[in-house]
Amino acid sequence: MKNNKVVVMDGGVKEETAYLRGFLAALGNKVDVWFVSHPHPDHMGALNEILLNPGEIKINSICLSEFSNEFCKSEPDYQSQAEEF
């Protein structure tokens, strides 16, 4: 946290959601901006879970490069999670 702003880059795998929730709770449950670099489970898995059930977490903005269909199809192991996101 800098200047009372919380910025998250990616966020981890789905299995780390509880840990991330605890970390964000300690920072006030408010994320000013969340960056997603690309649609792999280790970069957006926990965020997907939080978006499905945010609880007390408030996210002001999510920034990402558009995930084209071609990109998602090029990595079929990750395609369903990218589409869900």
Extents of the domains making up the chain: 7-84
CA atoms of 85 and 83, how far apart (whole Å): 5
- The confidence band for 71, taking pLDDT boundaries of 50, 70 and 90, is confident
**pTM, to two decimals:** 0.82
The residue among 70 and 56 whose pLDDT is bigger is 56
CA atoms of 38 and 68, how far apart (whole Å): 11
